[in-house]
Amino acid sequence: MPAPTLPSGNGPLPEGAILYEQLKQQNHIADMSEDLVAATSALGDSFALDKLLAGAQRGEVTYVKTDTGVKTLLGASAVARLAIVKITITEVFADAGGAQPVVTIGDTGVGTDDAVVAAALLVDAPLGKVFYAAGPILATEDFIVTLTAATGAGTGGVKIEYGLVPASI
């Protein structure tokens, strides 16, 4: 089966890219521009990310298997925002006789701490795998990562690159 391509025919998506339809089916996104999500899914290099997120609030963080708690990446805003994230697996996610860490990305609203990335996305993710995701961050809510540390011999680590743009451009 050939790799999926963008509607404009710009070539195959990078390995690990998540299409808009997949995000919608997994309830990671609600109402969002398909074009923006398709463009996000097509990111294969830093230049493309820079171009898409020009003027966005941006950052990068790395977490290891022992990290835990709610980490605020960006504070609240007066307007709703769209979060675009690239997650690179820096240590394989495996139970290995314990339990692998759990990572969700979203906002501080009630029930939306996984609005961008749900816990199931990174389960058993192999080293080097790259995931792209996008989702809404509600107005007046912080953009957060919620971490549950691995237990026993469980493993898993991530590098998260992110950008937030106003939801209404």
R_g (Cα) of the chain, nearest Å: 15
Domain positions in the chain: 20-166
In the CATH hierarchy, which top-level class contains the domain 20-166? mainly beta
Q: What per-residue confidence (pLDDT) applies to 18?
A: 46
Distances (CA, A) of 50 to 56, 58, 109: 9, 10, 28
pLDDT one-digit tens code per residue, 26-36:
544 444 444 45
Residue of 25 and 72 predicted with greater confidence:
72
**pLDDT tens by residue, 34-59:** 445 454 454 444 555 566 666 678 89
Alpha helix (H) residue ranges in the chain: 20-25, 34-41, 46-52
DSSP 35: H
CA quadruple 16, 166, 62, 94: dihedral positive or negative? negative
What is the percentage of the chain residues whose pLDDT exceeds 90?
A: 54
Q: Compute CA distances 151 → 4, 44, 65, 110, 148, whole Å.
A: 37, 33, 9, 27, 9
pTM: 0.71
Residue 47 DSSP label: H
